[in-house]
């Protein structure tokens, strides 16, 4: 069946005839017999990557499979994998004057050998950030950065990039946020920061912190302990002074809480 239409080319009428397009699709697709008997290798099993970022490894099992779907000549192999090469940031805080080290290695890199990789560092001095526009090259080509010691000037964000030497492909980027505190800004002495009750616990005393932080020892026993300490310091020769000291420490109390005389 033909269909027609009239159009205009340069102002003159032109008759255009359309011919219908008919496509014939066979009802069945004939597959050659040799192709039906073909055998191919397919992956039948694969594990997840060993790491969530950076270079890792996975196990794959590949088998021959034909029309009968029977697995033959299976072989397992360990392959490199890279899910994500941006590995986020690690935060560190050190005191001025202490030795410190940043390490960009991982177990998977060590397994392959660090000689197969290229390490480069950049630094955003004095700020904790992952904005790559503010980073400047830092002269280091080792997987380690050692501070011996660390100074306040070293504070900032260090970025480590790891590339494969064979093709310079990036396989890892890790940020290190480093804060270096001046020694007089904060006292990190754990024992000095403890309360009196916490110090008693640290020395082996039984203290009930739930009962208004009171010790199990009665007040008079604490006073006797203090008095005995005075006696040990004074020595045997100062017995009279010890007696006076004990009386004053006890504050005129006996075991029941009252003592009017020695």
Helix axes 239-250 and 219-234, enclosed angle (nearest 10): 160
Domains of the chain with CATH codes = 39-82 (no CATH), 86-181 (2.60.40.10), 191-250 (no CATH)
CA distances from 193 to 118, 179, 181, 213, 239 (A): 45, 22, 18, 16, 37
Rounded to two decimals, the pTM is 0.54
pLDDT in tens, the chain (262 residues): 544 544 444 455 555 554 555 555 556 666 676 666 677 888 888 889 888 888 888 999 999 888 777 888 899 998 888 889 999 999 999 999 999 999 988 877 777 788 889 999 999 999 999 999 999 999 888 899 999 999 999 999 999 999 999 899 999 999 999 999 987 765 555 556 667 777 766 666 665 655 544 444 454 455 545 554 544 444 444 444 444 454 454 454 444 444 444 3
What is the Cα–Cα distance from 104 to 262, expressed in whole angstroms?
A: 72
Gap between the Cα atoms of 3 and 195, Å rounded: 100
């Amino acid at each position: 069946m033909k269909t027609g239409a009239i159009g205009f080319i340069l102002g003159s009428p032109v008759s255009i005839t359309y011919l219908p397009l008919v496509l014939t699709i066979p009802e069945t697709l004939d597959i050659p017999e040799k192709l039906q008997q073909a055998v191919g290798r397919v992956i039948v099993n694969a594990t997840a990557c060993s790491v969530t970022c950076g270079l890792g490894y996975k196990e794959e099992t590949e088998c021959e499979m034909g029309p009968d779907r029977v697995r033959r000549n299976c072989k397992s192999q360990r392959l490199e994998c890279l899910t994500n090469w941006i590995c986020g940031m690690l935060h560190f805080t050190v005191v001025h004057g202490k030795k410190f080290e940043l390490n960009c290695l991982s177990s998977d890199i060590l397994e392959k050998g660090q000689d197969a990789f290229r390490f480069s560092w950049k630094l955003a001095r004095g700020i904790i950030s992952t904005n790559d526009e503010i980073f400047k090259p830092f002269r280091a080509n080792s997987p380690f950065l050692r501070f011996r010691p660390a100074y306040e000037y070293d504070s900032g964000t260090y970025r480590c990039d790891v590339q494969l030497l064979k093709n310079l492909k990036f396989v890892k980027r890790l940020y290190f946020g480093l804060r270096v505190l001046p020694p007089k800004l904060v006292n990190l002495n754990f024992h000095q920061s403890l309360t009196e009750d916490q110090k008693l616990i640290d020395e082996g005393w039984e203290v009930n912190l739930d009962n208004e932080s009171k010790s199990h020892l009665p007040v008079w026993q604490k006073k006797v302990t203090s008095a005995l300490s005075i006696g040990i310091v004074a020595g045997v020769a100062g017995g009279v002074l010890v007696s006076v000291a004990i009386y004053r420490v006890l504050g005129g109390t006996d075991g029941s809480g009252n003592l009017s005389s020695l």
